[in-house]
Amino acid sequence: MEYRINRRTGDRISEIGMGTSVLFQAGRLEGAHILEKAYDGGINYFDLAGGHGDNFPIFGDALRDVRKNIHYQLHFGADYSKGEYGWSLELDNVKRSVDKELTELKTDYIDYGFIHCLDEMADWETYKDNGVYEYILKLKKEGVVRHIGMSSHTPAVAHGILDEADVDMMMFSISPAYDFGHGDYAFGEAAERMELYKRCASEGIGITVMKVYGAGQLLTADLSPFGVALSEYQCIRYALDKPGVLTVLPGIETMDQLDVLLKYHDQPEEAYDYSILGTLEPVKAAGRCVYCNHCAPCPAGLDVGLINKYYDLARVGDTLAREHYLTLGTTAKDCVACGHCDSRCPFGVAQSQRMAEIKEYFGK
Beta-carbon count within 10 A of 290 CB? 25
Which residue, among 291, 316, 304, has the nearest Cα to 341 in the 3D structure?
304
- Rounded Cα distance between 230 and 157, Å, is 30
Hey, what CATH class is 3-279 in?
alpha beta
Task: Record the pTM.
Answer: 0.77
Paired sense of beta strands 12-14 and 3-5, if any: antiparallel
DSSP string for 245-287: EEEE--B--SHHHHHHHHTGGGS-GGGG--GGGGG------TT
- Rounded Cα distance between 42 and 35, Å, is 11
Q: Measured over all CA atoms, what is the biggest interatomic distance in the chain, rounded to whole angstroms?
A: 59
- Rounded Cα distance between 118 and 121, Å, is 7
Consecutive 10-residue runs of the chain (364 residues): their mean pLDDT? 96 95 84 95 93 86 96 91 78 91 96 88 89 95 96 89 94 83 51 86 93 84 83 94 94 92 95 80 55 78 87 76 88 94 78 94 94
* Cβ atoms 209, 241 nearer than 8 A: no
What are residue 113's DSSP bridge partners? 74, 148
- Rounded Cα distance between 208 and 240, Å, is 10
Q: What is the pLDDT of residue 23?
A: 82
Domain span(s) for CATH 3.20.20.100 in the chain: 3-279
Q: Which residues contact 162 (CB under 8 A, 6 or more apart)?
A: 150, 170, 199, 200, 203, 205
Q: What is the pLDDT of residue 343?
A: 85
209 three-state secondary structure = strand
- Rounded Cα distance between 187 and 176, Å, is 13
Q: What is the pLDDT of residue 290?
A: 56
